[in-house]
Structure 1
Amino acid sequence: MSSTLIGVGVGPGDPELVTVKGVNALRAAEVVVVPVMAAADGSDGGEPGRAEATVLHYVPAEKIVRIVFALNERSDRARREAAWDAGGRHVARLLGERGSVAFATIGDPNVYSTFTYLAQTVSALVPGTVVETVPGITAMQDLAARSGAVLTEGTEPLTLVPVTAGSAVLKDALSGLGTVVAYKFGRQAREVAEALRETGRIDDAVWGSALGLPEESIRPAADLDGTGLPYLSTLIAPARRGGGRGGKL
């Protein structure tokens, strides 16, 4: 019988935002894998990551297996890929032993998720593996709901930019008329603020981090002063709007 690897989006952090389908998938899998950031010594650091903390609301701890990934590693490609390979081998073993594995990822498994790389690795190691995904609520949706920022109206485009791609990419997006969402901008908060001011988009923009968690922070982008923010901070710069209700239809 084929092994099944299913990526389950568990949302930005609020356990109430995990979908019913997601909960059912987590409970149905024989084992639930969660990604954790590597500590300096290569261990899992001992503390649960955001995905694990969310999953623990729905499945027992003994069903959860941590796998270390170099989640924020961009400069050392060899270290990053070694972590993917090790994680893939670990999941491949679990599939051979248990048959079905769920991988819990914050947000959505098809939006900037480690699951993509894991699935590619496992599929190469275990040909015939069935790979499925369960969508999850994204940070931009949660931030829009909590801040009151409308993501899109009528014919407006929506552009999602990982600021890790460089501030120039963000500035190009902000120069357009549609809504721009920026992910992973915490370490480049100063550059993001400058891009917003230069393009005249700062007044209506809002940013947030740790959404749905006790340490949640949601602030106007105009308050950005260059101080470093959490890596997973999200920003919404709404489209330039006018013409009253339905003006963009």
Structure 2
Amino acid sequence: MSRLIGVGVGPGDPELVTVKGVNALRAADVVVVPVMAAPDGKDGGEPGRAEATVLHYVSADNVVRVVFALNERSDRARREAAWDAAGGRVAELLREHGTVAFATIGDPNVYSTFTYLAQTIGELVPGVVVETVPGITAMQDLASRSGAVLTEGTEPLTLVPVTAGSRVLKEALAGPGTVVAYKFGRQAAEVAQALRESGRLEDAVWGASLGMPEETVRPAAGLGDEPLPYLSTLIAPPRRDGGRGGKL
């Protein structure tokens, strides 16, 4: 029986992979890591965060790089063709080896490439068993590194991808509770303006490349007009003036 296991390997710090995640990676016959495509559609060469993390625990001989259209947003046909090719390659590995782990940054059920891969594999490999191993998310890591508290008492938590547009972020900031924004780097100026308009700029914090040598964790008040790394994360807590336990 073929098994496809999506393993969350965290935001970039290899120490944030769970014991269960490490065991799943080591037990798999093959570990697939996604890599971005070069302009010609082939392997771009640069190792991604997932691959760099996996190599702390698994021999390179057991790791297979598969090109995914991670950076293709404008050409739908090209993106679909790349997804079909990636799915076909993983299907081949499943038929050949039986158990394939797919390493994904963060958590495999939160804005993950694994979701789309699992859908494709379900069509290509009838009867395949799909499993996931949860991973530490960027918002959890940023909260830890910055000292930001994600939720208290009855506060809700809203997670939005800014790739959906700044309007989605503005609507979330107008509501209660903490707002977390993913993938906002290319729209940093718009995000900063939305924070000012909502009165949330002062307590907000952003981070990028968490757990890596080039890590950045800074107050959102310093956001300017220059774009940031694409995978930047923002935490915008609500105003908390009720004292300890004030929102229970």
* TM-score clears 0.5: yes
> What one-letter code is carried by the residue in structure 2 that aligns with 1:37?
M
> What one-letter code is carried by the residue in structure 2 that aligns with 1:247?
G
* Aligned 1:207-218 pairs, distance under 5 A: 207-218=206-217
8 Å Cα contact 1:12/1:142 also seen in 2: yes
Normalising by structure 2, we get a TM-score of 0.99
Does the alignment pair 1:95 with 2:94? yes
> What one-letter code is carried by the residue in structure 1 that aligns with 2:216?
S
Structure 2 residue matching 1:121: 3-state secondary structure? helix
Per-residue deviation, 1:105: 0.2
- 1:40 matched to which residue of 2? 39
Per-residue deviation, 1:72: 2.6
Deviations 1:156-202 (A, max 9, x none): 00000000000000000001121000000000001100100111110
> What one-letter code is carried by the residue in structure 1 that aligns with 2:58?
V
- 1:10 matched to which residue of 2? 9
- 1:223 matched to which residue of 2? 222
Can you give the 5+ residue segments of structure 2 that lack an aligned partner in the other structure?
A: none
Range with greater deviation from structure 2 (103-112 or 77-86): 77-86
- 1:52 matched to which residue of 2? 51
Cα RMSD over matched residues?
0.6
8 Å Cα contact 2:10/2:135 also seen in 1: yes
Structure 1 residue matching 2:141: 3-state secondary structure? helix
Residues in 2 aligned to 1:72 and 1:207: alpha-carbon distance in whole angstroms:
22
Range with greater deviation from structure 2 (68-77 or 142-151): 68-77
Per-residue deviation, 1:120: 0.4
Runs of at least 4 residues off by over 6 Å: none
Does the alignment pair 1:173 with 2:161? no
> What one-letter code is carried by the residue in structure 2 that aligns with 1:92?
A
Can you give the 5+ residue segments of structure 1 that lack an aligned partner in the other structure?
A: none
8 Å Cα contact 1:162/1:184 also seen in 2: yes
8 Å Cα contact 1:189/1:229 also seen in 2: yes
8 Å Cα contact 1:25/1:102 also seen in 2: yes
Residues in 2 aligned to 1:24 and 1:9: alpha-carbon distance in whole angstroms:
12
Per-residue deviation, 1:243: 1.2
What number of residue pairs does the alignment pair up? 248
Percent identity between matched residues is 83
Does the alignment pair 1:125 with 2:133? no
Range with greater deviation from structure 2 (66-75 or 221-230): 66-75
* Aligned 1:73-152 pairs, distance under 5 A: 73-152=72-151
Structure 2 residue matching 1:235: 3-state secondary structure? strand
Residues in 2 aligned to 1:85 and 1:114: alpha-carbon distance in whole angstroms:
13
Normalising by structure 1, we get a TM-score of 0.98
> What one-letter code is carried by the residue in structure 2 that aligns with 1:128?
G
> What one-letter code is carried by the residue in structure 1 that aligns with 2:247?
K
